């Protein structure tokens, strides 16, 4: 072979390589970040097209256990019995993916979920029973007397529709009635496409809704010993552990999910977050739940995976003392309001006079905070955000009552 031929071959080869680089660099980035052929095969035509249309969704999905197991886009998105389907590029897909689609494969989780207060009671807390079928109302009332068959919330009415959709219902949609007859949504805890267990075990996931002065669970947790340890040790925790065999080696520190849902060391996983509770802490006056004994026994069984019996019993006894004390403080405030109403010094409207807001804050913020703090290890919340405020608000209420009575004379 002549030198000239070799020279031409080298020049041509180099030119081809440079050209390939140039062409590659001007390809749209969507095309570059396409998932590998195995995902396109596993998810079929949806993923192929959606890698161009909404690539992020395909990437989220690719991280999930569903993708690893060969579950496809269409397994979740196809319209099932009871759903209105619409034609989408040759497929009949559901207008909305709801728990009805998930329950094809996860009926146990769905059944537990709908019987909890995350089901219909959560929605009815804002809007009452409208939107639920007679059977759904009956079913929920059996598990939670008075929780669904009740009037729409007075505060929601007073604040109007703007606050309702983007405020109350953004959190309370966890129990929404769906058009296909199912209830709620699984995505607040698992997300749509990563269907992740580790996400659901993150305290902040529950803290999307369980926050603020009226239900300060995330704030209390973050300041509790459990929360501090979680933050310090999270890198070494196995948040991805299989729920069916979760041990204290995976998670020696509890998160919200551990206490309220996980099947730690052979206990059973539950999507019924009501199951392990013994009091109605959210109520103005906290009474025992119908399932008091079983609920408390189950939660204590969980504590005992990590603590000694003396420690746990003492914890509950002290929390119950806070609960009783809070009940009597709130009763005092309620009696004062009743007396003022009886004396004709207040209108019937529940939210039109300053003292009504103080009375509301007294139980709804400070009473709840004291009780939640006591049951979840938040000393600062029992004290400064709880009892101190209870004392202060009662003094303010007495002062206003005196003034109202003086004006009436």
Closest distance to ligand HEC from the beta carbon of 177 (Å): 14
Among 55, 237, 302, 346, binds ligand HEC (CB under 6 A): 302
Closest distance to ligand HEC from the beta carbon of 49 (Å): 3
User: Structure tokens of 208?
Assistant: 């999307």
Among 139, 279, 365, 381, binds ligand HEC (CB under 6 A): 279
Among positions 158-177, residues that touch ligand HEC (CB under 6 A) are: 159, 167-168, 171-172, 174
Does the protein bind ligand HEC through residue 277 (CB under 6 A)?
yes
- Cα separation, 340 vs 397, whole angstroms: 11
Judge whether 340 and 401 are in contact, CB under 8 Å.
yes
Closest distance to ligand HEC from the beta carbon of 278 (Å): 3
Among positions 18-47, residues that touch ligand HEC (CB under 6 A) are: 43, 45-47
Judge whether 180 and 101 are in contact, CB under 8 Å.
no
Task: Provide the phi-psi class of 253: left if phi over 0, else alpha when psi is between -120 and 50, else beta.
Answer: beta
Q: Which stretch binds ligand HEC (CB under 6 A): 21-29, 50-58, 334-342, 350-358?
A: 50-58
Of 185, 193, 189, 191, the closest CA to residue 169 belongs to 185
Among 34, 40, 77, 178, binds ligand HEC (CB under 6 A): 77
Among 259, 325, 345, 358, binds ligand HEC (CB under 6 A): 259
Does the protein bind ligand HEC through residue 199 (CB under 6 A)?
no
Of 178, 191, 214, the closest CA to residue 61 belongs to 191
Total residues in contact with ligand HEC, by rule CB under 6 A: 119
In the complex with ligand HEC, the residue whose CB is nearer, 64 or 400, is: 64
Among positions 217-246, residues that touch ligand HEC (CB under 6 A) are: 217-218, 221, 225-226, 229, 243-244, 246
Does the protein bind ligand HEC through residue 92 (CB under 6 A)?
no
The angle subtended at Cα 170 by Cα 164 and Cα 172, nearest 5°, is 90
Closest distance to ligand HEC from the beta carbon of 336 (Å): 22
Does the protein bind ligand HEC through residue 104 (CB under 6 A)?
yes
- Cα separation, 291 vs 408, whole angstroms: 47
Does the protein bind ligand HEC through residue 155 (CB under 6 A)?
yes
Q: Give CA torsion, residues 88, 92, 98, 102, to 10 deg.
A: -120
Of 397, 243, 285, the closest CA to residue 333 belongs to 397
- Burial level of 22, CB count in 10 A (0-12/13-18/19+)? exposed
Among 24, 41, 84, 307, binds ligand HEC (CB under 6 A): 307
Among 40, 149, 282, 334, binds ligand HEC (CB under 6 A): 282
Among 137, 306, 336, 400, binds ligand HEC (CB under 6 A): 306
Q: Which stretch binds ligand HEC (CB under 6 A): 1-9, 64-72, 327-335, 389-397?
A: 64-72
Does the protein bind ligand HEC through residue 265 (CB under 6 A)?
no
Does the protein bind ligand HEC through residue 76 (CB under 6 A)?
yes
- Cα separation, 153 vs 167, whole angstroms: 13
Annotate 364-383 with b (16+ C-beta within 10 A) or e (fewer): bbbbbbbbbbbbbbbeebbe
Tally the C-alpha atoms within 13 A of residue 368's C-alpha that lie toward its C-beta.
19
């Amino acid at each position: 072979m002549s030198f000239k031929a070799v020279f031409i071959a080298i020049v041509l080869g180099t030119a081809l390589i440079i050209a390939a680089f140039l062409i590659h660099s001007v390809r749209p980035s969507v095309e570059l970040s396409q998932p590998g052929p195995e995902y396109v095969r596993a998810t079929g035509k949806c993923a192929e097209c959606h890698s161009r249309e909404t690539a992020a969704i395909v990437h989220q999905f690719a991280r999930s256990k569903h993708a690893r197991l060969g579950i496809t886009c269409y397994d979740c998105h196809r319209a099932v019995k009871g759903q209105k389907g619409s034609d989408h590029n040759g497929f009949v897909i559901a207008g909305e993916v709801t728990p009805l689609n998930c329950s094809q494969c996860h009926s146990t989780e769905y059944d537990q979920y709908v019987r909890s207060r995350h089901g219909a009671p959560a929605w009815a807390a804002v809007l009452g029973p409208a939107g639920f079928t007679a059977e759904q109302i009956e079913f929920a009332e059996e598990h939670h007397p008075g929780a669904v068959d009740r009037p729409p919330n007075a505060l929601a009415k007073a604040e109007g529709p703007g606050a309702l959709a983007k405020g109350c219902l953004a959190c309370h949609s966890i129990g929404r009635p769906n058009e296909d007859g199912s209830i709620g949504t699984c995505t607040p805890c698992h997300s749509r496409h990563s269907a992740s267990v580790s996400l659901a075990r993150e305290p902040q996931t529950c803290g999307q809704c369980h926050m603020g002065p009226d239900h300060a669970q995330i704030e209390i947790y973050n300041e509790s010993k459990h929360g501090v340890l979680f933050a310090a040790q999270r890198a070494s925790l196995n948040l991805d552990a299989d729920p069916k065999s979760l041990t204290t080696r995976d998670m020696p520190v509890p998160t919200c999910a551990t206490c309220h849902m996980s099947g730690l060391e052979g206990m059973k996983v539950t999507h019924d977050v009501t199951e392990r509770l013994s009091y109605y802490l959210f109520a103005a006056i906290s009474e025992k739940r119908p399932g008091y004994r079983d609920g408390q026994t189950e939660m204590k069984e969980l504590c005992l995976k990590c603590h000694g019996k003396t420690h746990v019993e003492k914890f509950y006894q002290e929390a119950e003392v806070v609960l009783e004390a809070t009940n009597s403080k709130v009763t005092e405030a309620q009696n004062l309001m009743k007396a003022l109403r009886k004396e004709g010094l207040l209108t019937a409207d529940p939210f039109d006079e300053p003292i009504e807001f103080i009375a509301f804050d007294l139980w709804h913020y400070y009473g709840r905070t004291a009780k939640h703090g006591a049951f979840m290890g938040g000393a600062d919340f029992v004290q400064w955000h709880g009892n101190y405020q209870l004392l202060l608000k009662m003094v303010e209420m007495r002062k206003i009552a005196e003034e109202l009575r003086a004006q009436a004379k």
